[in-house]
Amino acid sequence: MRALSALPAHHYADHFTLTTDTVATPERWARAMFGDVPTPAERFIWRGLLGLRLAPGRSPDTVAGWRIAARGEDWIRLEAASWFLACDLVVRSPHGQVSLGTFLHYTPRRPGRAIWPPLSAVHRRLAPGLLHDAEARVHKSER
């Protein structure tokens, strides 16, 4: 997972995996997790607290405002940045699994080191449910 991030260094990294029989492309998994546009709660966290510059509206080049930066057969990397940090979200979907990796790199400016640690605790609590909810959405859309 770490090798799929394009950041120069990782000041924060995590990785969550769900074993599943549901098969979908990495982009479909990413859209099932985050949607085409951010929810009000995601906008508050991503834009308001983290200052991430997200693309407005729906686009085939973005997922919830995050730019699709790269992709492979079983992975996709979403990127967003602010003036004090850069973020990569990597979604992998090898056979029988779906994974989400989150990678952050702080710029020399201080806010990232102060803002992200408390938010990371919330992120780590929410990420497993995000995968389960995405599985239900993908499975439901197959019917």
**3 state SS of 76:** strand
pLDDT tens sequence across 51-80: 999 998 899 999 999 999 999 999 999 999
pLDDT tens sequence across 7-24: 999 999 999 999 999 999
CATH assignment at residue 82: 3.30.530
Give the number of domains in the chain.
Answer: 1
Q: Are 10 and 120 in contact (CB under 8 A)?
A: no
pLDDT tens sequence across 93-137: 998 999 999 999 998 877 888 889 999 999 999 999 999 999 999
- Give the domain extent around 85: 2-142
- Whole-number Å distance between alpha carbons of 102 and 124: 10
* Range list of β-strands (E), the chain: 12-19, 62-63, 66-72, 75-81, 85-92, 97-106
Tokens of 95: 């056979």
- Whole-number Å distance between alpha carbons of 111 and 1: 26
